Amino acid sequence: MGKMMVTIRKTSDRVPGFEELAWDIFFQSKSRGISLVRHFPWILEPLDKGFYILAEIKARVVGGLVVKNWRGLIDGHDVKVGMIGLVCVSFDFRGQGISRMLLEAALSEARVDSFDALTLWTNSPALYAQYGFFGADAWQYGWVHKKERVDEKEDIFLVDFNIAEIQGKAIPPFAQSINELKGKISSVFLIKDGNGWIVAGYKGDVKEAAYLMARNLVNSWRLNIEKDDPLKGELERLGYEINVDLVNLQMWHTIDLKLRVSDLVNKIKIPVLERI
């Protein structure tokens, strides 16, 4: 298909054409997904201090992306981070520089809206490096394997527990559901996909959280965790072998040049279940 005039525009409102394109690119073409709203429930409302960048040809949406607002703290100072996601171009219009136009517009508008930094997660780092993004990821992912029997004295932690599906929270595109495993003073957040459970996070007491996993998950499961999280030590204490490596999926772009890369990576912690 020959080149046609592409219009780039910014909006904070829902655009059905973009939603249809995103569903086609990220879900339907890969034979996966529940619904766009189930995976990204925030899409139902105008973005709060974020925006969409759309590429249109004769009023048809042929590409787009979203910059979603995330607030973090670095040494007590508020930091406005834009999470870039759903970067897509229609199969019919690829090879015409539309991705470049989208990303350049996103960078420009992020400066206008006083974002301090942008971040995204990708398997194609070379695509974004040319626009000033750099890889910097403090998260690890891998397998947890049972080596030894869990000590029964740890039962002091438990009152009752159950794994319940969480409704209304974003489900990662590759997943079937997200669930919460509740104990007395802790909760473990689980992603379920075709290969079983992934521990995506926890809150509360780290010792009880580790024991909840040990008592209620199968002998092997996957773990997505910050590199310095004490959970790994607790699981090893319970007789588990931890085989995790840095995932190297996250990239950053600093708009406020006073920000240090180390502070962005180590102090801005965006949970797995809140990413795009």
For residue 38, the domain's CATH number is: 3.40.630.30
Average model confidence (pLDDT) across the chain: 91
Judge if pTM exceeds 0.75: yes
Position 160 scores a pLDDT of: 47
* Number of neighbours of residue 159 by Cβ within 10 angstroms: 8
- Residue 237 domain-assigned (yes or no): yes
Please give the average per-residue pLDDT across 153-179, as a whole number: 74
Residues 161 and 53 in one domain: no
User: Using one digit for the tens of pLDDT, what is the confidence trace for 196-242?
Assistant: 999 999 999 999 999 999 988 878 999 999 999 999 999 999 999 99
Burial class (CB in 10 A: 0-12, 13-18, 19+), 220: middle
Please give the average per-residue pLDDT across 6-32, as a whole number: 96
Total count of domains within the chain = 2
- Residue 213 domain-assigned (yes or no): yes
Residues 130 and 152 in one domain: no
- Residue 256 domain-assigned (yes or no): yes
Position 275 scores a pLDDT of: 92
Residues 128 and 254 in one domain: yes
The amino acid that residue 257 corresponds to is L
* Two tokens, residue 174: 């590759």
Position 147 scores a pLDDT of: 80
CA nearest 63: which of 34, 35, 94, 89? 89
Position 149 scores a pLDDT of: 58
User: Using one digit for the tens of pLDDT, what is the confidence trace for 130-142?
Assistant: 999 999 999 999 9
Residues 68 and 171 in one domain: no
Q: Give the DSSP letter string of 132-178.
A: T-EE---EEEEEEEE-SPPPGGGGGG-S--EEEEPPSSPPPTT-SEE
Contact 138, 144 (CB under 8 A): no
* Number of neighbours of residue 258 by Cβ within 10 angstroms: 7
Residues 21 and 80 in one domain: yes
- Residue 38 domain-assigned (yes or no): yes
Burial class (CB in 10 A: 0-12, 13-18, 19+), 12: middle
Positive or negative torsion for Cα 15, 17, 20, 21? negative
- Beta strands at 60-74 and 51-57: parallel, antiparallel or unpaired: antiparallel
Residues 20 and 127 in one domain: yes
Write out the residue range of the structural domain in which residue 153 sits. 139-246
Residues 197 and 181 in one domain: yes
CA nearest 189: which of 275, 276, 272? 272
- Residue 1 domain-assigned (yes or no): no
Residues 126 and 253 in one domain: yes
Residues 36 and 129 in one domain: yes
pLDDT at 151 over 70: no
